[in-house]
Structure 1
């Protein structure tokens, strides 16, 4: 039998795995930390030395099986440093020596939205996250990341799934905590529920006091206003609309944007605005034009503004900024611009911004790589970049939010 392969971990990679070198090539070892020696025998890795002092016991029984978390074996300090390093490395890859602040970490059990897998096998229902790198679901019994109200609802959601999910088929379950309760959507649920089944499911939802229940895209139960409060404004949220993962992070991002605004300010633009996460805080200070391709999000924002008090004028416009980015001339009408695009970033819009005269540009991103790319474009266009703030609202995962401000 061949001898076991033994390697020493040098650093943590972008996906949270330990990285060792073998014959000049990187080897990725799950759950390994720098300085530790790991041995591989028959394809399985095991710790072969004293543990790194930053190694801690996981806070959840599902860790190392559930793919929702990757780094519960790291101490809070090590996690925080790694998240900051993800941002540092992304900017360095673009030739930028960014001033990256210490990562701000949200509180535990604070995530208000869960995208869960759901599978029905006869009378048995499994709800949870998938195993790392696998399609197998890990049945959820606890979670240190999700809002406790979401975790507490899982047993009841299993009962509903027995009635709304097709046997031997899986799907996606989205649960969001809004101001007055849980909004639940079985995205792949049955579309042929009988009147009796609807009544039964509705009674279960009432017992659980769900705010809203949707099955296969159709609302079955609506008990109250599905709103979330943003900057003191009640915004009606349709099923599936984007929200920041954690309210604490949403508030911090808004505060950073407002603090970065120029002293001489009349007009601002919010690009990729969604339902107004940043539009509404900015509208306390300036007239804001918000752009997003999602018609439902823009409708929700426009309706919220009509019923709000204390805001400057807000224009909510449907526009696909990937296909039709704002022109330089349009951008020059604003004193400040914020953009918060999907993970792909906003390459073409950043190019237009780089050619504009906008005094202050603020960037928010959940992908440090595309943020760094767009930052490179702005800097090459003459902007100066201030400190970059990482926000860890995706606890124990390989994702991190970041905020940066650019000035002429």
Structure 2
């Protein structure tokens, strides 16, 4: 009889791992592997719902149940903290966004003879998986995939790939097409007809020289904290409304009753606008278009909100500026916020709420804060990129 080896956890890229550190792709905790490498599914191994799994790079973990998926998200954060020599703080259970709730996506499209394929790339490949179903996209986004094949058949050159960016706004789907060729009246009219027929909020083209709006019956907006904010073409939005709500609950809890708050890397105001309902808020954003959109929205809503367009990597808030605030919220890109954290470490700000999409850089920055005297009160893990290895979190620090 063959000895059986147990899969005990999931590694960072989603492979199952045994106690001796051997990796087995597409396994789940509780699976067993015999001496010949044959896998016997365990109680946490489920049937993937999508026919494209595992080829499609949009998902890596459809074969595990929610309990194991939630543990994977928590383990990613715990592992990053332990790698920095930090104790594990109180940790909430992972919040998982439901299937079919992704409200923004970047797909690729390619014309292959008379056929147009649209979808995500295969994992670690430039090959496109032609999407015939999707269990992560919001139905309003997926409904455009088949019509887009017909539209792009007349716009893409043979064997040339283009990009398809879709975002769900207050008015409908905001669609951006990249690397497409629009030549002549017929092609131009086909865009307008498509946008009108599918009630798009906006249709934008980017041929490499920046977005050009071709159809927008009324300004495209997203509602944040009860305020409609203009959405710049290609603007960033949290992947799901459900995930955004979970992040916001944790941010508000971490800020507490602070009367003056700075929201750094504020974007369109995902956190700044809700916070401004009860506090004075300074929102700092390095990208011009989101900063202008947030400033206009805050002014219309008459919120106690000041918006500053400022590169926080080159010019972070210094000690004198930080001293004006009872709490700091920061939501940096994947690289983290080393420059700003160095100045925060030397400050006396009583509360810091750190929102992160990269456990590794978060743990690095957390170590600097903890060495300086802060402590992590709580971490809230969030998995809004359903069935992917992408992890987000909110950490509340106090001094």
TM bracket, shorter-chain basis? over 0.9
Alignment map for 1:211-250 (pairs within 5 Å): 211-216=201-206, 217-250=211-244
User: Which residue, out of 90, 102, 115, partners 1:99?
Assistant: 90
Matching of residues 121-132 of structure 1 within 5 Å: 121-132=112-123
- Partners of 1:306 and 1:389 lie apart in 2 by 32
Q: Hey, what does 2:70 align to over in structure 1?
A: 80
Cα separation, 1, equivalents of 2:308 and 2:161: 37
What SS does the aligned partner of 1:119 have? strand
Q: Separation in 2 of the partners of 1:273 and 1:362? A: 13
> Could you report, residue by residue, the CA deviation over 1:151-171 in whole angstroms, capped at 9, with x for unpaired residues?
111111112212332321112
Match of 2:23 in 1: 28
Match of 2:111 in 1: 120
Task: Compute the displacement of 1:205 (Å).
Answer: 1.7
Residue 255 in 1 paired to residue 270 in 2? no
Match of 1:60 in 2: 50
Query: Contact 1:36–1:48 (CA<8 Å) still a contact in 2?
Result: no
In the alignment, which residue of structure 2 is the partner of 1:276? 269
Residues 252-401 of structure 1 aligned to structure 2 (within 5 Å): 252-263=246-257, 265-309=258-302, 311=303, 313-401=304-392
Report the Cα distance in structure 2 between the residues aligned to 1:33 and 1:345, rounded to whole angstroms.
Answer: 31
Q: CA deviation at 1:194?
A: 2.3
Q: Distance in 1 between matches of 2:162 and 2:5?
A: 40
Residues in 1 aligned to 2:326 and 2:67: alpha-carbon distance in whole angstroms: 39
Q: Runs of at least 4 residues of structure 1 off by over 4 A?
A: 37-41
Alpha-carbon distance in structure 2 between the residues aligned to 1:219 and 1:57: 42
Gaps of 5+ in 2: none
Deviation at 1:173, TM superposition (A): 1.0
Instruction: Provide structure 1 residue ranges, at least 5 long, that are not aligned to the other structure.
Output: 1-5, 42-46
Q: How far did 1:53 drift?
A: 1.4
| 2: CA distance, partners of 1:179 / 1:344 | 30
Pick aligned residue for 1:141 from 109, 132, 157: 132
1:44 match: none
CA contact (8 A) 1:141 1:151 kept: no
Instruction: Give 1:37 shift.
Output: 4.5
TM-score scaled by structure 1? 0.91
Against the structure 1 CA distance between its residues 292 and 343, is the aligned structure 2 distance closer, same or farther, given a 3 Å change threshold? same
Displacement of 1:49 in angstroms is: 4.2
> Deviation digits for residues 244-273 of structure 1, max 9, x if unmatched?
11111212222222222243x332111000
Partner Cα separation in structure 2 for residue 141 and residue 128 of structure 1: 9
Give the TM-score of the pair, scaled to structure 2: 0.93
Q: 1:167 to 1:219 in 2, by over 3 A?
A: farther
Please tell me whether the aligned partners of residues 87 and 100 of structure 1 are also in contact (alpha carbons under 8 angstroms). no
Counterpart-to-counterpart distance in 2, 1:132 and 1:109: 20
User: Compared with structure 1, are the counterparts of its residues 117 and 382 closer, same or farther at alpha carbon in structure 2 (3 Å cutoff)?
Assistant: same
SS in 2 for 1:85: helix
Worse-matched range after superposition: 193-202 or 176-185: 193-202
* 1:19 to 2:12 alignment: no
Q: CA RMSD for the aligned pairs?
A: 1.9
CA distance in 2, matches of 1:293, 1:299: 11
- Residues 163 and 201 of structure 1 are in contact (CA less than 8 Å); yes or no, is this contact kept in structure 2? no
Instruction: Give 1:28 deviation, angstroms.
Output: 3.1
Q: Is the 8 A contact 1:19 1:27 kept in 2?
A: yes
2:186, 2:30 → 1: CA distance? 61
